[in-house]
Structure 1
């Protein structure tokens, strides 16, 4: 299995079309309309987030009840050869693995709420480029629409499907159509049997339960593309789609609200962005920012661990972390969803033998 998406030369003229039995591993369970399970990472010493701890966010109600034995993916629109791929046909295409941060844009929903709906996951699947090569985009195709099988009502509109779009060049070079998460088949709440993964982008672009890909000349006018999930960036005046992740970081150990012995204490966590994080600083109370030791990112857009050992005087402390990425973006102190994360600790003095 290749480590990275690469160029796909040649053009396949036929598809392997098979049928396989549902293995029963992915049982269904209802999640409820607009279901959200948002969790902080609970395992700071693990590079990959356990699947049981991965947040869940559905906009259109319970997950669709899909079976990969009957599921298929259609590719249509401005293409030379419209496709319908079943699951074995997807598996027969070139496969890759990559590790990437998976982050909800509602992270947090308000800047004052320190919850970080963010995980680090290993995905395996097919580069979108391989599927597009089979279909043959026409010259006028400029955008890729990704549609999920989930349907429902949202924002005053009924009968919606979840739909996102990306520029064709960007989608073909970055997006993976994933069928496993951390080495196991996708669970129903995470997009079984196939989902899109846009590894440098917020999770809203990684469409679950992928059922249809459309190549088009223009962007779709849709609730989830042009009306919601847009924002105006600092220094700009027009809204743009929510896509690339912001630079961010989170302190994970010690845990927020915990008590630790006074004295030397390791402060550690993870930082991430759409590009490599180049530095992380930590401030204790009102003292100056101190540089933390930061791991390099490597070729995949995974998160990076940072750590700093600091002597804590007895008493309560406020600890903050701030990341900077290779694009020069720095986490704001306040006022935005990626504002610096802070925790509060109590450093307890050591017991004195013979004391009263």
Structure 2
């Protein structure tokens, strides 16, 4: 997690009160779990309407996953670095789809939330996302607990979609409707926003899989630290496992950091490097590589390498002297 208070040390799980909140439409106050229902409709053999108790009666799964905001869809290359690591409990969407029985012609799953509002010149628009059916079967969970407690209203109470390997834009809050269809929906948040052209490609694709990224957390940006041995540390994450993190100080060479393995869940991975900081100001950068061979770019994109500025001071001597 990246805490709002830079003086607080980093931790593996983000406290719920510090999980970022993003809403394109009017902020929703949450729904009533006693009256909430989820409809599953469209190209299914058995249309469903599940209440909260019925959903809780289905097989549950608990997992830890990085939850990352893609950023402003109107400025898709600007870094935001809004990211957290959260423990979720929920029902695999595949369990619900099995009950409904997708018809052979179904190719896509639409996920729609209860929030409505105005955005990018459109009025009264709902928040809608879509995924290919087979991808939705394996990637999406219907989560109702975060870090051991019920979802809070701002985080999608009582039920939200969670796609652990994808950007948060695909994890629809206040989920009330699942539609199976033969085609993708033409919609503000599916085909007009949240698309991008990846390096080496010429056509835009939907924003889905997370980029490879990393962020330095210790020491905090702008800190004054004792000169000499220091631990430079942070977290790295991707849609797949991060295999290497390198750190560069000032204009020095990139040096390999010690990197924790990811484990069985798509959570972030801590990295650290012991480094002797000479007295004076320093620029520290980090870059990650994942198992797909992707490397953070030095600049020019939303996941460009992160850098901090710190000052190393000798005890009893003013910084910079």
TM-score range, shorter chain: over 0.9
**Counterpart in 1 of 2:126?**
161
Indicate yes or no: 2:94 matched with 1:129: yes
Q: CA deviation at 1:185?
A: 0.3
Indicate yes or no: 2:270 matched with 1:305: yes
**Of residues 209, 212, 229 in structure 2, which corresponds to 1:247?**
212
Residue-by-residue CA offset, 1:128-147 (whole Å, 9 max, x unaligned): 00000000000000000000
Residue-by-residue CA offset, 1:304-338 (whole Å, 9 max, x unaligned): 00000100000000000000000000000000010
Given that 1:41 and 1:118 are in contact with CA atoms closer than 8 Å, whether structure 2 keeps it comes out as no
**Of residues 16, 19, 24 in structure 2, which corresponds to 1:54?**
19
Given that 2:30 and 2:154 are in contact with CA atoms closer than 8 Å, whether structure 1 keeps it comes out as no
Given that 1:74 and 1:211 are in contact with CA atoms closer than 8 Å, whether structure 2 keeps it comes out as yes
Given that 1:202 and 1:245 are in contact with CA atoms closer than 8 Å, whether structure 2 keeps it comes out as yes
Q: Take 2:312 and 2:72, find their aligned partners in 1: how far apart are those partners?
A: 29
Indicate yes or no: 2:90 matched with 1:144: no
Given that 2:210 and 2:239 are in contact with CA atoms closer than 8 Å, whether structure 1 keeps it comes out as yes
Residue-by-residue CA offset, 1:160-207 (whole Å, 9 max, x unaligned): 110000010011011110000001000000000000000000000000
Aligned pairs for 1:268-347 (under 5 A) are: 268-347=233-312
**Counterpart in 1 of 2:48?**
83
Q: Secondary structure at the match of 1:56?
A: coil
Residue-by-residue CA offset, 1:102-126 (whole Å, 9 max, x unaligned): 000018968676x520000000010
Given that 2:30 and 2:156 are in contact with CA atoms closer than 8 Å, whether structure 1 keeps it comes out as no
Q: Take 2:200 and 2:162, find their aligned partners in 1: how far apart are those partners?
A: 29
Q: Secondary structure at the match of 2:70?
A: coil
Aligned pairs for 1:62-77 (under 5 A) are: 62-77=27-42
Structure 2 CA distance for partners of 1:141 and 1:238, relative to 1, 3 Å: same
Structure 1 residue ranges (4+ consecutive) displaced by more than 2 angstroms after TM superposition: 38-45, 107-113
Q: Take 2:69 and 2:155, find their aligned partners in 1: how far apart are those partners?
A: 13
Q: Secondary structure at the match of 1:80?
A: coil
Given that 1:196 and 1:206 are in contact with CA atoms closer than 8 Å, whether structure 2 keeps it comes out as yes
Indicate yes or no: 2:170 matched with 1:209: no
Q: CA deviation at 1:44?
A: 4.4
Given that 1:64 and 1:150 are in contact with CA atoms closer than 8 Å, whether structure 2 keeps it comes out as no
Indicate yes or no: 2:53 matched with 1:94: no
Given that 1:60 and 1:152 are in contact with CA atoms closer than 8 Å, whether structure 2 keeps it comes out as yes
Q: Which runs of 5+ in 2 are unaligned?
A: none
Q: Secondary structure at the match of 2:138?
A: helix
Indicate yes or no: 2:85 matched with 1:120: yes
**Of residues 144, 150, 155 in structure 2, which corresponds to 1:190?**
155
Aligned residues: 314
Q: Which runs of 5+ in 1 are unaligned?
A: 1-37
Q: Secondary structure at the match of 2:177?
A: strand
TM-score scaled by length of structure 2:
0.95
